[in-house]
Chain A
Amino acid sequence: MGNSPLAGSQTSTPSKIDPNQIPRPMPGSSIIIFETRQGNQANIPPPSSSDFIVKDTGNCSPRLMRCTLNQVPCTGDLLETSCMPLALMVQPLSLPHPSEEPIHVVDLGESGPLRCSRCKGYINPFMRFVDQGRRFICNLCGYTDETPRDYFCNLGPDGRRRDADERPELCRGTVEFVATKEYMVRDPMPAAFFFLVDVSMNSIQTGATAAACSAIGQAIADLPEGPRTMVGIATFDSAIHFYNLKRALQQPMMLIVPDIQDVYTPLHTDIIVPVAECRQHLEQLLESIPTMFEENKVADSAFGAAIKAAFLALKPTGGKLLVFQSVLPSAGLGSLSLREAEGRTNISAGEKEAHKLLQPADNTLKTMAIEFAEYQVCVDVFITTQTFIDLSSISVVPRTTGGQVYYYYPFSALSDTAKLYNDLRWNISRPQGFEAVMRVRCSQGIQVQEYSGNFCKRIPTDIDLPGIDCDKTIMVTFKHDDKFQEGLECAFQCALLYTTVYGQRRIRVSNLSLPCTSVLSNLFRSADLDTQFACFLKQAASGIPTRSLSQVREQIMNLCISILHCYRKFCATVSSAGQLILPEALKLLPLYTLALTKGIGLRNDGRLDDRAYWVSHAGALSVPLAVPMVYPRMIPIHDLNLKEEDGSVLLSTLPLSSEHLNDEGIYLLENGEDCLIYVGNMVNPDVLQQIFGYTSVNGVSTQFVLEQFNNDLSKKLNNVINEIRRQRSSYLRMRLCRKGDPSGMLFLSNMVEDKNPGGLSYVEFLVHVHRQIQAKMA
């Protein structure tokens, strides 16, 4: 029974809601073994935040692909009535659990993977072999094909091919095919990494250049070994400085491209060289760059020109371009202006246009980015700044090229250097692929409506991903163009053609086959909260640059109310009108919706760049990270010592309400990006001493480095943080928040269940939702 009457029957009087009874996320404690299919039926995946081990028994792992609904509505009307989205969250290279079976690599020789001759769908466990195995029927388009002679196999008595269990492509939801020549327009590209470092005056003086150089210097040790790994480096201020890393030279030679309007690259060789040949040069150079530019008085930074020039260097091969930018790009091609200030003066004139500041300033960078994508150059931008940098314009480049933005604001050379290094290291060492093309196919009856995420789209059906890595998620929405028959299954197939860092061309095919239903309550029962919320988050993010914030908030809230109203109206009719009834699967939807409207992206105050970063971050965010982004985890850490260890390092979380904050306590709050540590004003100095090495927090800077001291508490805290880092694949920016300080206010702004100027408290919000539903019912 999915119905969960909320707080008994007396919800008609809101004041009587017991705040402790309202739905809150409950982390699962034990590891779940999840079989994707059982008895020829798809299983509903566990929550994305839980700890689970997947057994691929026909459907792909939910880490790779998750649908908002685990049963597909037979008609478009049904879907419309439910108000819920039908979308897939595809994370094609996502990290598996260490205990999971690795994905099988299938090499079918010169003929390559078997495909449907009509829809070009790849062979998968749901293709039905008939006629003694001589023919097969495509599960996507229904077309019947001849089985090629060398793929022929007799059928067993159960109607399955006798070799079905031996062939991974016939029994696994996900396989990786070795691509044949047919899938290559050229030899697979080498893994080329090009580092581009801002050395303008500000960047030097804030230590950003030194931090970047040190991060690169350490991170190159983790580059994939082998002759196919290439590196190059350039620095820039109002000119672009390339470095000739050829081994024959005694020292690196600086090659300056002064023209930042009509840029070019100095050489086509020697700028990007195999890492094995230049490691020494590169290390030496990275050490000397901060001193070389120590006296630099050039304040201008030609970001656009620099990435263009670096792109030209990378153009023959393609590759990853990692840019370290510290100030507003003020010169040369694609230079930007201080729009924030303009925005501030305009805002009084009319708030209507404020969202335009979240659109790129002009088309220059977008046009460039499309060209980059065409030549398989993926751009990641590391923003280490203390000022406005017009992230909404800059972020277009990574978004279009399959890259991402890292944002360190306000940059602190002291505390951010470690994160910068770890982010960079993860960036270049995580599982990833290059020059990728992705397409999602689905059964006849629905069709792909839209892809969203970080990619470039040149033709309607495919998306180009110059770079794709384990953290990137692409959302695919669907719409009905026909009906499904009850009892049949609807299949989704995602094919990603990419080149590995070792230069192999692969096709990763993930399949998900879900039952179709015409029963509305089935939809609600099989709804996937995390996926749906991720979908809302992305929709909100894409709405921010085009609509005013209040409109976006309203839309999100209305969506939540409409879903709940639908459920109330069609699935819970028996309940009394005074009750707020929430579907079990979506019971946290109001909380997350509230949290979303109070988040950085949608709240009214907040810096333009922060919002732009939020938007760009949400765009490619994976499902497991979507919820923490708006509803972070809060863990009390002052009493870590008192808790018994029960195997898992992580401990129970607290609701995000200031009621749960204690003046004697220390609390850790993390959202996958930032880690705030809140210190009450009456904390035991001993505890402070153990954690921070000081008896008073006044001695600790806001941006601090957490050290491990020789005591249990400190060790446990470090273990906890390391576990979070592992879970999130993120190093976390540490910030100390003191009660009664601006930093304390920052922490409290994360207490989304509280009533604050930005919105209602959780209880109030539930009342508001309830009233709205009641109004609709009447």
Chain B
Amino acid sequence: MMEVETSAPPRRAVPMAYGGGYVGSCNGLYPAPPSLVPGGGVAGGFYSGLERAIFWKSSHFHQQKIRGGGRWEYTFIAVDIHYLCDGTLLLPSSPAIAAATVSGMDFAELEAVEGLRWPWNAWTPSRSEAATLVVPLSVICTPLMPLADLPVLPYEPLSCSRCAAVLNPYARVDYRSALWICAFCHSKNSFPRSYAGIADHNLPAELFPTHSTVEYLLPNKNPNRNSFPSTSSFASLSFYTSSSSLSVPPAAAVSVAGPAFVFVVDVCSAEEELRALKNEILHVVAQLPENALVGLVSFGSMVWVHDLGYAQCSRVVLFRGDGELSSAKIQELLGVSHSQTPKLASSQAIQKQGYLLPVSDCEFSFSTAIEELNRFSDALPGHRASRATGAAVSTSVALLESYSPNSGGRVMVFTSGLATTGPGMVAEIELSRPIRTNREIVSDSASFHEKARNFYQKIAQRLLNRSFVLDLFACSLDQVGAAEMRFPIEASGGLLILTDSFESDQFKKCLRHIFKREGTDHLDMISDARIELVTTNEVKICGALGPCASLRTKNNSVSEKEIGHGGTSSWKTCTLTTKTSIAFIFEVGNYQPNTYPGPVFFIQFKTRYLHGDGSNRLRVTTAARRWATGSRSSSEITTGFDQEAAATIMARLAVNRIENYHPREVISWLDKMLIRFTAKFGDYVPEDPSTFRLPSGFSLFPQFMYYLRRSQFIDIFSYSPDEVAFFTWTLNKENVNGSLIMIQPTLFQYSFDGPPVPVLLDIGSVSPDVILLFDSFFHVVIHYGSKIAQWRKLGYHQDPSHENLMKLIEAPEIDAGGLIVGRIPVPKLIRCDQHGSQARFLLARLNPSATQKFHAGDPSRVIFTDDVSLQDFLEHLQALAVQG
């Protein structure tokens, strides 16, 4: 180990190292409504601070690196230790805590360090007071957020023997007796022998104060896999500084089975659609690593399982689509069951299964099987095609179960129409019988809905038991039953993609996204993830909202109150992306004034997962926040309010409520919450609306709620159940940044007057001589003002003398491309002209400040709606808030 001169780490917290002009402009993306910002007008002309924050952060961290031995290395740095007055807690100067105590912080930047967003960065220890905050105590966690300089530690973590919290920088260490005291439960733990060299100048990385997040590379249980010697001590190995530089010894690539993919193809699709789909599947399969396993299941009124290991001719096993078979039965029929009796087992062994094979073994037969898929629909006139989607899913899961891949498995369903037969059917085969609507679902009169949901609940349990993922690619102009299928998709962490056609770019990009790999011989696919929370005694877990499932591991940090996936301190999800965000809701325990809880509380997020390279990993993020106590408590709470995170939490809570309540009730719930919220935090003279002011950190929150009320998440009757399922699924997994775009889309204006500027999401922003770039996350709309559209029609932009116009037209195109890149699900790019039919995508989300009832000036800039405008909404809100 290289000895490096120790120097004091920067005393100041990381995010504070750069103040810069953007501090306080985190709302740059969201121009405040004129009525709430003194002076009115559009504040700031900035893009989201997020991109810049990432840039700054990385440059900052470079300063901490010490060059040695030709590579970047962390080494031991002496740490300042604060002993608190009660002597119970060891508190390093962590960036998180430091940041949390500083006002005017950028929450997005903190997120880049921790992967966490806290609507409240300071919590009140009083349960009654917490209830008055309206927005619950919660954290939006992106468990696998890519972090710069994430230490990857090639040894097993030390866990507290009592509360199982992993050793972290907040633990108090007694070097002489080789003990550490858990920050959560205060119990003493001794260091094992491998930590013998520990000293205040020689700390393992997990105790390093800047490393509130570390990742452990766990020894593999599977002896076939590459594994690290379990005896290795932290000191005997050089620390790897980041995951990218970590060189895992190449696993015996082909001998170890990789992840398994079962492609489930609907053969009732139209001819061209099927062709496009086939090409796309062949494309992605050709890109798969050689050890990946593939299977092919096709379905119409029956389920076809294609044998890829049979050379003599194409061989397919068929299952009836209208019956529900148990997994064991399916396996028995496929001849792939793991029988207990040795006699049967031997006969099974003779019969080699060929339904799931490594790509390297079946490339030819797979492509033959794909090419031989022919459109097959026995639909009669006046009837829908008979699709046994449910049976196909169940069969595919059984296929994976029989094979039990240990590197994750995905069932990828490609369908272009309604499930009309067997388990999971959502509509009858006669076209004269309509598809269920949201109204029917809400009023419990959708005849197949409940049954299908129950079926898919069972599927979800099977997927979770074995860590398999279900993806749905529904490429259809009509519905397919995604609303019913959403549950297993969301619980397993799969993708739910709704687009019009298999020929669309959106579909192709989403599909290819799953199989993305960046120069490695493995897929960037994470599987079998399990998130566990450890909290300070006073913090109780209510539940999680997001793509995960409760594991029902109840302990004393679990609250009686359940919100979302609750009643547990650990959750399972079969796959995670680096963007997947899960909201955890908490409450504080019963606060006894005589037991002082300490100045801070801790939450540890432990995410165990299987990396794409086959290694088992555990990421541990330990976060600390202050208890807001004493005289300054209310100001601490106010300054620690993150309105973006709060809006996200409220949106997730609202969509969660939509499942069980009538949308009308959810809207009134949102309104009630908002009124209580503004009444609590507003600054006003009672009964005088004109005096109403909100603190700056709160000013955008009512506006977010306004747009949320009007959004596709709440206004579900304008959408089909499938679309709502898709929107909800997306919202539930998206991080704060993405969620906010969904709640309140962004709108940029491109004009000859200067660089593009963000403008109000208002009908007033529509103008004939500008181009608008609208982003609602699902749709990216380039809206040409009528004049520009006319010029373009006349071909002026191709005229060299009108270079300006060409540039103006190009600019939003380029920026739209930038918005689309990397976003999953890929948004639909719509180009439309003012007054064109496609402009509805934009108009529907604009604030109707000018309607047919009230408008001034240009009659073409009017939205025909009965909805209340933002201004009216806020006025009403103020009036209600000041009533007390």
* Beta-carbon contact of A264 and B372 below 8 Å: no
Do A291 and B316 contact each other (CB < 8 Å), given the known contacts A248-B374, A268-B378, A297-B347?
no
B154 to chain A: closest CB distance in Å?
47
From B314, B334, B347, B372, A258 is in contact (CB under 8 Å) with B334
Q: Is A185 an interface residue (CB 8 A)?
A: no
Q: Is A6 an interface residue (CB 8 A)?
A: no
A7 to B882, CA, bound (A): 136
* Beta-carbon contact of A258 and B351 below 8 Å: no
A296 closest partner in B (C-beta): B351
* Beta-carbon contact of A256 and B372 below 8 Å: no
Q: Is A276 an interface residue (CB 8 A)?
A: no
| Interface stretch (choices B318-326, B555-563, B589-597, B625-633) | B318-326
* Beta-carbon contact of B302 and A254 below 8 Å: no
From A248, A254, A262, A264, B313 is in contact (CB under 8 Å) with A254
Residue with the greatest number of chain B CB neighbours at <10 A, chosen from A267, A288, A297? A267
A259 to B329, CA, bound (A): 9
* Beta-carbon contact of A253 and B316 below 8 Å: yes
* Beta-carbon contact of A291 and B312 below 8 Å: yes
Identify which of residues 307-337 in chain B touch chain A, using a CB-to-CB cut-off of 8 Å.
Answer: 307, 310, 312-320, 323, 325, 333-335
Do A256 and B313 contact each other (CB < 8 Å), given the known contacts A249-B372, A297-B347, A297-B351?
no
Q: Is A341 an interface residue (CB 8 A)?
A: no
Do A259 and B319 contact each other (CB < 8 Å), given the known contacts A249-B372, A266-B302, A297-B350?
yes
* Beta-carbon contact of B312 and A258 below 8 Å: no
Q: Mark A251-275, 1 if CB is under 8 A from B, else 0.
A: 1111111110010101111000000
A363 to chain B: closest CB distance in Å?
24
Contacting residues, chain B, for A259 (C-beta < 8 A): 319-320, 325, 333
* Beta-carbon contact of B313 and A257 below 8 Å: no
Q: Mark A42-85, 1 if CB is under 8 A from B, else 0.
A: 00000000000000000000000000000000000000000000
B320 to chain A: closest CB distance in Å?
5
A33 to B762, CA, bound (A): 108
B422 to chain A: closest CB distance in Å?
12
Identify which of residues 541-597 in chain B touch chain A, using a CB-to-CB cut-off of 8 Å.
Answer: none
Residue with the greatest number of chain A CB neighbours at <10 A, chosen from B313, B320, B372, B374? B313
B620 to chain A: closest CB distance in Å?
47
* Beta-carbon contact of A251 and B314 below 8 Å: yes
Contacting residues, chain A, for B314 (C-beta < 8 A): 249, 251-254
A509 to B320, CA, bound (A): 45
A248 closest partner in B (C-beta): B374
B878 to chain A: closest CB distance in Å?
67
Do A256 and B350 contact each other (CB < 8 Å), given the known contacts A248-B374, A249-B372, A266-B302?
no
B305 to chain A: closest CB distance in Å?
8
B350 to chain A: closest CB distance in Å?
5
A242 closest partner in B (C-beta): B318
Residue with the greatest number of chain B CB neighbours at <10 A, chosen from A254, A256, A267, A268? A256
A243 to chain B: closest CB distance in Å?
8
B369 closest partner in A (C-beta): A253
* Beta-carbon contact of B318 and A255 below 8 Å: yes
Q: Mark B292-314, 1 if CB is under 8 A from A, else 0.
A: 00000000001010010010111
A19 to B115, CA, bound (A): 113
A259 to B318, CA, bound (A): 9
A506 to chain B: closest CB distance in Å?
33
Contacting residues, chain B, for A258 (C-beta < 8 A): 317-319, 333-335
A297 to B350, CA, bound (A): 8
Q: Is A31 an interface residue (CB 8 A)?
A: no
Q: Mark B833-859, 1 if CB is under 8 A from A, else 0.
A: 000000000000000000000000000
Contacting residues, chain A, for B335 (C-beta < 8 A): 258
* Beta-carbon contact of B372 and A253 below 8 Å: yes
A534 to chain B: closest CB distance in Å?
47
Q: Is A292 an interface residue (CB 8 A)?
A: yes
A262 to B307, CA, bound (A): 22
Do A256 and B374 contact each other (CB < 8 Å), given the known contacts A266-B302, A297-B350, A297-B351?
no
Identify which of residues 277-294 in chain A touch chain B, using a CB-to-CB cut-off of 8 Å.
Answer: 285, 288, 291-292
A249 to B372, CA, bound (A): 7
Contacting residues, chain B, for A262 (C-beta < 8 A): 320, 323
Do A288 and B316 contact each other (CB < 8 Å), given the known contacts A258-B335, A266-B302, A268-B378?
no
Number of residues of chain A lying within 8 A (CB) of chain B: 25
A178 to B334, CA, bound (A): 51
Contacting residues, chain A, for B316 (C-beta < 8 A): 253-256
Contacting residues, chain B, for A250 (C-beta < 8 A): 372
Contacting residues, chain B, for A249 (C-beta < 8 A): 314, 372
A248 to B317, CA, bound (A): 20
A632 to B466, CA, bound (A): 70
A290 to chain B: closest CB distance in Å?
11
B396 to chain A: closest CB distance in Å?
15
Contacting residues, chain A, for B351 (C-beta < 8 A): 297-298
Contacting residues, chain A, for B350 (C-beta < 8 A): 297
* Beta-carbon contact of B372 and A288 below 8 Å: no
A256 to B307, CA, bound (A): 10
Identify which of residues 336-366 in chain B touch chain A, using a CB-to-CB cut-off of 8 Å.
Answer: 347, 350-351
A253 to B317, CA, bound (A): 11
Do A257 and B318 contact each other (CB < 8 Å), given the known contacts A262-B323, A266-B302, A297-B351?
yes
From A251, A253, A264, B320 is in contact (CB under 8 Å) with A264
A636 to B376, CA, bound (A): 64
* Beta-carbon contact of B320 and A256 below 8 Å: no
From B307, B313, B376, A292 is in contact (CB under 8 Å) with B313
* Beta-carbon contact of A256 and B317 below 8 Å: yes
* Beta-carbon contact of B312 and A288 below 8 Å: yes
B348 to chain A: closest CB distance in Å?
11
Contacting residues, chain A, for B318 (C-beta < 8 A): 255-258, 264, 266
A642 to chain B: closest CB distance in Å?
57
A249 to B319, CA, bound (A): 21
Q: Mark A644-660, 1 if CB is under 8 A from B, else 0.
A: 00000000000000000
B300 closest partner in A (C-beta): A267
Contacting residues, chain A, for B307 (C-beta < 8 A): 256
A284 to B318, CA, bound (A): 23
A248 to B376, CA, bound (A): 13
Contacting residues, chain B, for A251 (C-beta < 8 A): 313-314
A262 to B350, CA, bound (A): 26
Q: Mark A536-557, 1 if CB is under 8 A from B, else 0.
A: 0000000000000000000000
Identify which of residues 362-394 in chain B touch chain A, using a CB-to-CB cut-off of 8 Å.
Answer: 372, 374, 376, 378
Identify which of residues 260-285 in chain B touch chain A, using a CB-to-CB cut-off of 8 Å.
Answer: none
Do A253 and B313 contact each other (CB < 8 Å), given the known contacts A258-B333, A258-B335, A266-B318?
yes
B321 closest partner in A (C-beta): A264
A258 to B351, CA, bound (A): 14
Contacting residues, chain A, for B372 (C-beta < 8 A): 249-250, 253
Contacting residues, chain B, for A256 (C-beta < 8 A): 307, 315-318
A747 to B353, CA, bound (A): 51
Contacting residues, chain A, for B374 (C-beta < 8 A): 248
Contacting residues, chain A, for B312 (C-beta < 8 A): 288, 291-292
B325 closest partner in A (C-beta): A259
A478 to B423, CA, bound (A): 56
Contacting residues, chain B, for A298 (C-beta < 8 A): 351
* Beta-carbon contact of B315 and A254 below 8 Å: yes
Residue with the greatest number of chain A CB neighbours at <10 A, chosen from B310, B333, B334, B351? B333
Contacting residues, chain B, for A255 (C-beta < 8 A): 304, 316, 318
* Beta-carbon contact of A252 and B319 below 8 Å: no
A/B interface sample: 10 pairs, CB < 8 A: A253-B313, A254-B315, A256-B317, A258-B319, A258-B333, A259-B319, A266-B318, A267-B302, A291-B312, A297-B350
Closest 6 CB pairs of A and B: A258-B333, A253-B314, A256-B317, A254-B315, A292-B312, A266-B318
A253-B316, A253-B372, A258-B319 known, 19 other contacts, Cβ within 8 Å? A239-B333, A248-B374, A249-B314, A250-B372, A252-B313, A253-B315, A254-B313, A255-B304, A256-B307, A256-B317, A256-B318, A259-B333, A262-B323, A266-B318, A267-B302, A267-B376, A268-B378, A285-B313, A292-B313
